[in-house]
Amino acid sequence: MLKIKNLKTYFYIEDKIVKAVDDVSFSVAKGETLGIVGESGSGKSTVALSILKLISTPGKIESGEILWNGRNILALSDEELRKVRGGEIAMIFQDPFTTLNPVFTIGDQIAESVKLHEGLNGKDALERAVELLEIVHIPDARSRAREYPHQWSGGMKQRAVLAMALAGGPKLLIADEPTTALDVTIQSQILKLIKEVQAKFGMSVIFITHNFGIVSGICDRVIVMKDGRIVEESDVPKVFKTPENAYTKKLLDAIPKPRWQVSS
């Protein structure tokens, strides 16, 4: 479905060139969950933004190809790109508090995505918004759709953002650290929900995180990034059993262990 070839995305800051993504290549198969792991500044989120051509000044996609079902996203017109964004490839971000607009109700914000991607209007769009909230397990969705973001908890906001992402029926969901701002219990619920909607909608997922613990529970395959480059690519069971790169080993060592496993 998705094939990235020799992608280079650089940022030009004063007299410096920051090679945020430097000659990166990988692919994502239909129905697959690919994890992209690395510390802050490794380039993993820049890869995600590049896929949807959301890099803004002082950043620039210098070269490479981003092939989506055979079409190079970087060569699409603005109109063609709008159809891909949200409609074919959707993205959710780590902070639902800033993703949602505080002056509009949750239902209206999801309905706006429905109007854009499904062509519904008025009551039909709002009805579809309620259905999407029910899919992500918001209780009493019809009533809650009339509420504003400040009335919802962080976990509920992230469910609303996921509902919004599903409005166009995407075939690829990019989740950029969607559980980072949430407590551990809610993180588990959101991860379970992503797997559930992935199966329901037949999506592929790119899951971006710095946490190998999350990768072990949700991903089929993993890419490890450092300084804008891929340093290791492996099936998830293999990378836990026999990591090949020293940096990967350090990330794995950083996974918190149960107290009884910590040597005294």
In this predicted model, what pLDDT tens digit does every residue of 225-258 receive, in sequence order?
A: 999 999 999 999 999 999 999 999 998 988 776 5
Is the pLDDT at 259 greater than 70? The verdict is: no
3-state helix/strand/coil string of 144-197: HCCCCHHHCCHHHHHHHHHHHHHCCCCCEEEEECCCCCCCHHHHHHHHHHHHHH
- 36, HSE (Cβ side, Cα atoms, 13 Å): 29
The helix (run of H) or strand (run of E) holding residue 22 is strand 16-28
Kindly report which listed range (10-24, 119-133, 170-184) carries the lowest average pLDDT score: 170-184
Asked if 214 and 207 count as a contact pair (C-beta separation under 8 A), the reply is yes
* Parallel, antiparallel or unpaired: strands 33-37 and 221-226: parallel
pLDDT of 180: 80
Residue in 153, 157, 117 with CA at minimum distance from that of residue 136: 157
In this predicted model, what pLDDT tens digit does every residue of 78-128 receive, in sequence order?
A: 999 988 998 999 999 888 788 899 999 999 999 999 998 888 889 999 999
Q: Which CATH number fits domain 2-261: 3.20.20.370, 3.30.2310.20, 3.40.50.300, 2.60.40.10?
A: 3.40.50.300
